[in-house]
Amino acid sequence: MAEAERIIGTPEIPDAEGTDEGGSTAADAAVNSGRGKRKILVLLSVAVVAYLLDLVTKMIVVAKLEHQPPIDIVGDWLQFRAIRNAGAAFGIGEAFTVIFTVIASGVIVVIVRLARKLYSLPWAIALGLLLGGALGNLTDRLFRAPGAFEGAVVDFIAPKHFAVFNLADSAIVCGGILIVILSFKGLDPDGTVHKD
């Protein structure tokens, strides 16, 4: 009998704590699941704040600043000036508004898919900034003139000798910079650190 068990092998039986072959327990899985849900909550919270700030500032700009002279904030070094941008950042590619709309939609889908494997707080913040910014500019492209998928984005922050931009653009740039930093440090969205 002992010889038969040696040849066939005995099945792996979890211990009383539910430990499997890899040494993880059901409690570990529950903790990881809770951590993942908290990171998704952070991502969504950052995205909502970025989106709402962008939306509210654009509404104020359209109501109060459009068709008005620029407002000097720091001399002529920083102004608030309302413009409509049909292109991408810095006014590039105004003939491709529909393509930029599709790209923004694709970015949102990728972020939502990544969120399922998210266990890193810095990545949650970075992706939240990207998501909020992408949603902010996508809202303009879908609902502003001249029409759906071709709407012009409202830009209003005008530093001297630089392109005019909005808070959604700022969120996207900050999120992108944070992702580059995290990638250089080897931190993955699932919380693991790799060395190249």
Catalytic annotation on 169? yes
Active site residue 196: no
Single-letter residue type at 71? I
Which of the following is catalytic: 72, 169, 188, 190?
169
Give residue 8's identity as a one-letter amino acid code. I
Identified catalytic residue from 140, 155, 190, 196 = 155
Task: Give bridge partners of residue 157 from the DSSP assignment.
Answer: 80, 165
User: Do 189 and 119 form a contact (C-beta atoms < 8 A)?
Assistant: yes
Q: Where are the beta strands (DSSP E) in 109-190?
A: 153-159
The residue with tokens 């502003």 is 144
From CA 46, how far away is CA 131, in angstroms rounded? Answer: 9
Which active-site residues does the annotation give? 155, 169
